[in-house]
Amino acid sequence: MKRSAGGPGTDARRPTAEVHHQQPGATWGVEQENFWDRETVIGTVEKNATERIAVRRVERRGRAYVDIRVEWRRQDGDEFFPSKRGVVIPMDALDDVLALLESAQGAGARETDGRRHSH
C-alpha cells in the first residue's frame, strides 16, 4: 500500500488500485454520468419491478472494463438510474470472473432438495 501524508493518529494508507468515490452531494447517474470516456450498453436483465441489472462495456483513460450495476427507477417513472451497487471488472480479469460465474452456475445445478452437497 502507498502511504501519503497524514496527521498524527490518522491512517494515511491508500490502496494501490484506482478507487472512485462519489463526490459529496452528488447523485449517482446525474452529476457522475460523464465519468466514463466511452460507454456501450451490452444489455439488461430485469431484477424486480423497480430494479434491473445492466451490463456495459466502459472505458476510462484508455483502459477497458465491464461494469455490472443494479439500476433503479421510481415506481411512478420509466427512467432507470445507476446505483452504487455494482462492480467494475478490468478486461484482463474478465475471463477469471466468467470462470467463477460458470462454477457458481454449475454448483447450483448440483443442489438437491434445496440443500447443497459438499464436494
Q: What is the CATH number of the domain that holds 53?
A: 2.30.31.10
119 residues of the chain, pLDDT tens digit each? 443 444 444 444 433 343 344 343 344 444 455 789 999 999 999 999 999 999 999 999 999 999 999 999 988 888 999 999 999 999 999 999 999 999 999 987 776 545 555 54
Residue 57 lies in a domain: yes
Task: Say if 77 falls within a structural domain.
Answer: yes
In a domain, 38, yes or no: yes
Domain-located, residue 22 = no
**Residue 53: beta bridge partners?**
45, 70
Q: Per the domain annotation, does 8 fall within a domain?
A: no
Number of domains in the chain: 1
Cα(75)–Cα(98) distance, integer angstroms: 33
- 90: in domain: yes
Residue 93: which domain range? 33-108
Per DSSP, the residues of 73-104 read --TT----EEEEEEEEEEGGGHHHHHHHHHHH
Question: Residue 10 and residue 87: Cα distance in Å, rounded?
Answer: 29
Q: What is the pLDDT of residue 61?
A: 95
pTM, to two decimals: 0.63
14 CB-near residues (< 8 Å, 6+ apart): 1, 2, 3, 4
pLDDT at 75: 84
- Give the integer Cα–Cα distance in Å for 50 and 19: 28
